[in-house]
Each structure stands twice: as C-alpha cells, then as structure tokens.
Structure 1
Amino acid sequence: MFSIPGKSPVTITPSAERQIARLMAAKSAQGLRIGLKKGGCAGMEYTMELADSAQPGDEVVEQGEARVLIAPTAQMFIFGTEIDYETGVLESGFKFRNPNVTDSCGCGESVSFAPLEGARTAQS
C-alpha cells in the first residue's frame, strides 16, 4: 500500500487510543475502519465505522488495544495523519490532523486535497 518501511501510516494519540479501544470493546469489534467519501462543502469527508474484520487491502495500524483499519481508497490521502480524540464542553470527537489537506470547511467536517499529479480536471 502507501507506506514507508518502518513508519506507521498514521499516528494515534493516547486519547484516541483509549477511545478506539473503548468503542471496540463495547461492540466486540476488531477495529475502527477509516475512509473517505465524496461530500461536504470542501469535497471529501472522513468516514469511520466499527469493523468485524479487516478487508482485503486494508492497512492495519495497532497500538495497545486499539486497531485502526485504513480503507485502500483512503490510504494515499491519510498517510501522515495524526488521529486524536478531544473532549470539550460542547462537543467531543475524533480529530484528524492531516498534512495532506489543502482546504477544509468552516465546521471541519469536510476537506479537500491537492489534485493528483496527472489527474484530469473538469476543464480537461
């Protein structure tokens, strides 16, 4: 997949590790699958779902009791991302600090990435 030998494709903060492990234990899941889908104001949205097993092509990142499964179609966009879990007064949730993002919407729910080299644009 899209990896560098000896380097994890994503990093997981201790807070995210604890929350992922809690979610997995509560639902007897084998991991938290992370992906991307088209949508939102900026063009792409992160997806997360508890998974019963890794799918072919998933990149598996394990840290303590937490297991993150990265969908094949998201791997090149998520490489280098830090996954955190923040607890606040008004909201709590996972935060993705992704160095590959070129723009995001005001609410932070959707992101966009630089076009892939050689990719066709709408004007092409």
Structure 2
Amino acid sequence: MAITLAPAALERARRFVESTPGALGIRFGVERTGCSGWGYVVDIAREERPGDTVHEYEGLRIHVDATSQPMVDGTEIDFAQKGLNHEFVFRNPNAAAECGCGESFTTDADKAA
C-alpha cells in the first residue's frame, strides 16, 4: 500500500514544501491524543529520520515514522474547506473507530490490547 493525496491536498502540500527552504517533503504520522487514542500529524519534513518510510506521490516525498507506518498505510489525504476553516481530511482504511468529534481514531490492534 501507500499514502495518496487528492488533487487539493497535493496542491496544498506542494505549496507548503516549495515555500519552506530546505524542506524534503511532508511528514505524516500519528501521535497519542484525543479520546480515541491516535490523532494525525502533518508537518514539513526537514530531515530524514532513522526508521522513516518515504513514500513518493507525484513527485512529493511523504516521510512516515516506523510507529505510524502500519496505522496510516493506505491513507488518502484530502484538503477541504468547511466554512471559514481549511483542513486536511484523512480516509484511513486502518481506522476502526473515530471519536465523536472526529479528532482521533483507534485501530483494530488498539481494540485487542
């Protein structure tokens, strides 16, 4: 599998990378947060870290750390406008459930633990 980006997300990510001197691409992963357990993190990748998996999508490099990789593999990232807000939207086949506010998710592995 891989990480993919819808056209709006690809355009937005490319603009961020192109406007950041020394950027290698984007960093995509998860961190413990919220009421369900995992929240998405998107940032500029400024260096390649040990254990990173680097996906390439239409020339954009996507760096994913080893802990996040199994939880985000296969995710499609989109970018949407909701009222005055603009945000990345994630379609993750590994998410087994989301919290009510949609800020965090769990996987089947979390449920088994």
Scaled to the shorter chain, the TM-score interval is 0.7 to 0.9
Match of 2:14 in 1: 21
What aligned pairs does 1:99-118 form with structure 2 within 5 A after superposition?
A: 99-115=93-109
- Tell me how far 1:65 sits from its aligned partner: 4.5
Q: 1:19 to 1:65 in 2, by over 3 A?
A: farther
Q: Does 1:44 align with 2:38?
A: yes
Greater Rg over alpha carbons, structure? 1
- Tell me how far 1:111 sits from its aligned partner: 0.6
Match of 1:84 among 57, 78, 84: 78
Cα distance in 1 between the residues matched to 2:74 and 2:58: 19
Cα distance in 2 between the residues matched to 1:107 and 1:95: 13
Match of 2:4 in 1: 11
Runs of 4+ in 1 over 3 A off after TM superposition: none
Cα distance in 1 between the residues matched to 2:25 and 2:60: 7
Match of 2:63 in 1: 69
Q: Any unmatched runs of 5+ in structure 2?
A: none
Deviations 1:43-64 (A, max 9, x none): 1111122121221221212233
The RMSD of aligned alpha carbons is 1.9
Match of 2:47 among 53, 61, 78: 53
Q: Which amino acid in structure 1 is aligned with residue 17 of structure 2?
A: M
Aligned residues: 112
Match of 1:5 in 2: none
TM-score (norm 1): 0.80
Match of 2:24 in 1: 30
Identical amino acids, percent of aligned pairs: 36
TM-score (norm 2): 0.87
